């Protein structure tokens, strides 16, 4: 058991605060354990401002803007819990998929290992894209080995957000580590608890307050609007073209046919994955022939409506796409707190522990 009721949380690669938003809303079932912010770091200035504004407005100096490779880890401050969604560029299925061999991004996970070895927090959460399992040559096993040798019992699982009441088909690997000298066992929360939840895009995007921030509608060109009018809900441009509904002057001529190009949401189904990057046609589209607003993207990522993102439109879109869904972070953190409190909860076997 921890010796106090709150866990001080440190974060690297914190993003705009999706993981922190969920973690700070978590409590154990008996109300005895919770999480408080300690410090965070990210290399993007707008992202740091968003985090400060929403997560720690009374402690802005605790968010350090800068390259993780320049951090002085011993000066960050004592923590009881740690979280990091280390950059996924090297592991994404739509990226270069070079793994740890890509020195620029792949090895950035190691700075989290250094934090674990220096501060010895009681637990940690590490998050990455599903592609981490097959990147490089044994990268995932190497990362697991390094984390375990830092002194932690690990539980790795591929979480499918749509199974946890989140209106998005977003699949992410989450590794939970419990310090190996503690008599605490974490188990993966059972997604069956969320069976029957309405995760349709229609419900997710309904009733957005008129004064909600980041909700401006971006004006599209006439050509894009015409193209969207030919695409049915749930379809992308290629499906509409195959069905003969795209006239010649609106066809797209590319060698690669990415499934998200001019893809509309199906109002009856969860949204497809919100992404941070991508060129024209990858910005996510409403079933009513327009681009989603950033607030709608944030809704899909389960951010509360009063969570205000800082920066220009493209910067905000990127921040939202990079984030961990708040609700998923809350579900996993709550399970951790219940584990420390000795409270049983519905669970399933982890699916990445081979």
CB neighbours of residue 244 within 10 Å: 8
What is the full DSSP assignment across 80-103? SEEEE----TTT-TTS---GGG-T
Q: Which residues pair with 8 in a beta bridge?
A: 36
Q: Which domain holds residue 148?
A: 6-195+324-348
SS3 assignment, position 73: helix
pLDDT string in tens for the chain (354-residue length): 444 699 999 999 999 999 999 999 999 999 999 999 999 999 999 999 999 999 999 999 999 999 999 999 999 999 999 999 887 544 444 444 454 545 444 478 889 999 999 999 999 999 987 777 765 546 788 889 999 999 999 999 999 999 999 999 999 999 999 999 999 999 999 999 999 999 999 999 999 999 999 999 999 999 999 999 999 999 999 999 999 999 999 999 887 888 889 999 999 999 999 998 877 789 999 999 999 999 999 999 999 999 999 999 999 999 999 999 999 999 999 999 999 999 999 999 999 876
SS3 assignment, position 10: strand
SS3 assignment, position 150: coil
Domain count along the chain: 1
Residue 299 and residue 213: Cα distance in Å, rounded? Answer: 12
Helix, strand, coil tally for the chain in percent (to 5): 35, 15, 50
Segments of 195-312 assigned E as strands? 285-286, 290-291
- 20 inside domain: yes
Report the pLDDT value the prediction gives residue 211, as an integer from 0 to 100.
Answer: 96
- 257 inside domain: no
Report the pLDDT value the prediction gives residue 2, as an integer from 0 to 100.
Answer: 41
Report the pLDDT value the prediction gives residue 258, as an integer from 0 to 100.
Answer: 85
- 215 inside domain: no
Question: What is the side-by-side strand order in the sheet with 123-129?
Answer: 63-65, 34-42, 6-12, 81-84, 123-129, 171-179, 152-160
Report the pLDDT value the prediction gives residue 97, as an integer from 0 to 100.
Answer: 45
Report the pLDDT value the prediction gives residue 138, as an integer from 0 to 100.
Answer: 61
- 232 inside domain: no
Report the pLDDT value the prediction gives residue 4, as an integer from 0 to 100.
Answer: 65
Report the pLDDT value the prediction gives residue 346, as an integer from 0 to 100.
Answer: 98
Helix pair angle (139-149, 109-119), 10° resolution: 10
- 70 inside domain: yes
- Polymer length in residues for the chain: 354
- 32 inside domain: yes
Report the pLDDT value the prediction gives residue 105, as an integer from 0 to 100.
Answer: 43
Q: Rounded to whole angstroms, what are the CA distances from 200 to 113, 146, 267? A: 38, 39, 6
Residue 338 and residue 354: Cα distance in Å, rounded? Answer: 25
DSSP state of 166: -
Quick check: 264 and 284 in contact, CB under 8 A?
no
- 33 inside domain: yes
Helix pair angle (313-322, 45-54), 10° resolution: 70
Catalytic residues: 88
- 242 inside domain: no
**Which residues have CB under 8 Å from 62's CB, separation 6+?**
37, 38, 39, 40, 56
Report the pLDDT value the prediction gives residue 352, as an integer from 0 to 100.
Answer: 86
Q: Give the global pTM.
A: 0.93
Q: What is the CATH number of the domain that holds 165?
A: 3.40.50.150
């Amino acid at each position: 058991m921890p010796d106090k009721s709150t866990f001080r949380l440190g974060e690297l690669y914190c993003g705009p605060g999706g993981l922190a938003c969920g973690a700070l809303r978590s409590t154990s079932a008996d109300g005895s354990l919770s999480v408080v912010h300690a410090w965070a770091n990210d290399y993007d200035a707008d992202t740091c401002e968003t985090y400060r504004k929403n997560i720690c407005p009374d402690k802005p100096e605790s968010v350090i803007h800068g390259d993780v490779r320049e951090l002085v880890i011993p000066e960050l401050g004592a923590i009881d819990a740690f979280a990091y969604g280390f950059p996924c560029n090297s592991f994404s299925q739509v990226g270069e998929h070079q793994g740890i061999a890509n020195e620029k991004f792949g090895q950035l996970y190691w700075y989290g290992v250094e934090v674990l070895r220096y501060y010895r927090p009681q637990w940690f959460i590490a998050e990455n894209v599903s592609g981490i399992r097959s990147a490089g040559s044994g990268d995932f096993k190497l990362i697991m080995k390094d984390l375990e040798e830092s002194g932690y019992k690990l539980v790795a699982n591929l979480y499918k957000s749509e199974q946890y009441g989140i209106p998005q088909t977003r699949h992410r690997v989450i590794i939970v580590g419990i310090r190996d000298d503690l008599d605490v066992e974490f188990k993966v929360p059972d997604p069956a608890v969320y069976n029957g939840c309405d995760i349709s895009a229609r419900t997710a995007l309904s009733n957005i307050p008129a004064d909600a921030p980041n909700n401006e509608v971006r004006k599209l060109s006439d050509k894009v609007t015409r193209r969207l009018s030919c695409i049915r809900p749930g379809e992308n441009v290629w499906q509409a073209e195959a069905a003969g509904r795209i006239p010649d002057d609106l066809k797209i001529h590319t060698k690669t046919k990415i499934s998200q190009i001019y893809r509309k949401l199906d109002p009856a189904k969860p949204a497809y994955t919100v992404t941070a990057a991508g060129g024209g046609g990858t910005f996510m589209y409403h079933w009513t022939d327009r681009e989603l607003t950033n607030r709608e993207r944030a809704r899909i990522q389960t951010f509360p409506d009063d969570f205000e993102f800082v920066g220009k439109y493209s910067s905000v879109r990127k921040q939202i796409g990079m984030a961990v869904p708040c609700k998923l972070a809350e579900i996993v953190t709550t399970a951790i707190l219940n584990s420390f409190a000795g409270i049983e909860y519905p669970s399933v076997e982890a699916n990445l522990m081979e």
